[in-house]
Amino acid sequence: MKAIILLGAPGVGKGTVAEAIRDTMGLTHLSTGDMLRAAVKAATPVGLKAESFMKRGELVPDEVILALVFDRIDRDGKDSAFLFDGFPRTSEQAKLLDEGLARREGAVDRVVLLEAPRDLCIERLCGRLTCRKCAAIYHARNHPPKNPGRCDLCGGEVVTRPDDKRETIENRLDVFKRQTEGLIALYDGRGLLARVNSAQPKEKTIADTLRALGGSK
């Protein structure tokens, strides 16, 4: 089983890059944020447990996340190649991911770290719009949907995520620094990390990511 991780602060562009490269590279996109939002919308037991953490911009407990991830991995089968977006986010999640992959004869193959200054991440998140149905990402100013409020891809409702509010955004960035940033050194130490500047235009970031993953362009 192949596993690629997109690592980076909220607003750095993980979702946008994942959307753009998953088909080109034949990867199964696994976004824990999207899975949790779907669970909240459907009011499942996981959704009910996760909602208050998400509203505050705090991390959902590791055991909830790991159950969600491995359930999905096992449903997709062990021949899939996964693109993890927003996971792992703690060193415990990284450890449990390694163990879970090893049990399925897999390992983390490559980690792409997307980097952009904090101010730019805040600006992107403040204007971000997300499709409630297919999770496509837009921006109120830089990339609005063609029909206001409707997704170009599926016609679903395009909304501001409840956690894309200024105070919550600041907290999510602080949480990244406190709980996730340590993973950079972890994967760098294992020789798996590639750094990509995601403060550049979207097309350039996507091309650099593909190159870092050996997917040409």
Provide the binding-site residues for ligand AMP, judged by CB under 6 A. 10, 32-33, 36, 53-54, 57-60, 65, 86-87, 89, 93, 163, 172
Q: By the 8 A CB rule, do 69 and 62 touch?
A: no
> How distant, in Å, are the alpha carbons of 29, 75, 87, 98, 193 from that of 47?
20, 19, 17, 25, 32
Q: Is 133 a catalytic residue?
A: no
Q: Is 89 a catalytic residue?
A: yes
Exactly one of 150, 161, 165, 202 is catalytic; which is it? 161
Q: By the 8 A CB rule, do 144 and 150 touch?
A: no
Q: Which is nearer to ligand AMP, 32 or 207 (CB)?
A: 32
Q: Which is nearer to ligand AMP, 39 or 213 (CB)?
A: 39
Q: Is 118 a catalytic residue?
A: no
Exactly one of 2, 22, 37, 89 is catalytic; which is it? 89
User: Shortest approach of ligand AMP to residue 105 CB, angstroms?
Assistant: 23
User: Shortest approach of ligand AMP to residue 216 CB, angstroms?
Assistant: 27
Q: Residue 176: which of 57, 71, 50 has the closest Cα?
A: 57
User: Shortest approach of ligand AMP to residue 217 CB, angstroms?
Assistant: 25
Query: By beta-carbon distance, which residue lies closest to ligand AMP?
Result: 33
Q: Which is nearer to ligand AMP, 7 or 65 (CB)?
A: 65
Exactly one of 14, 22, 37, 124 is catalytic; which is it? 14
Rounded to 10°, the helix 91-103/62-76 angle is 30
Q: Which is nearer to ligand AMP, 5 or 210 (CB)?
A: 5
Burial 155-179 (b: 16+ CB within 10 A, else e): ebebeebebbeeebbebbbebbeeb
Taking the C-alpha atoms of residue 210 and residue 141, their distance in angstroms, rounded to an integer, is 26
Q: Is 22 a catalytic residue?
A: no
User: Shortest approach of ligand AMP to residue 172 CB, angstroms?
Assistant: 5
Exactly one of 22, 37, 124, 172 is catalytic; which is it? 172
Q: Residue 132: which of 60, 8, 38, 62 has the closest Cα?
A: 38
Report phi then psi at 203, rounded to 5: -60, -35
User: Shortest approach of ligand AMP to residue 107 CB, angstroms?
Assistant: 19
Taking the C-alpha atoms of residue 92 and residue 189, their distance in angstroms, rounded to an integer, is 17
Q: By the 8 A CB rule, do 199 and 22 touch?
A: no
Q: Is 55 a catalytic residue?
A: no
Q: Which is nearer to ligand AMP, 80 or 168 (CB)?
A: 168
Q: Which residues are catalytic?
A: 14, 89, 128, 161, 172
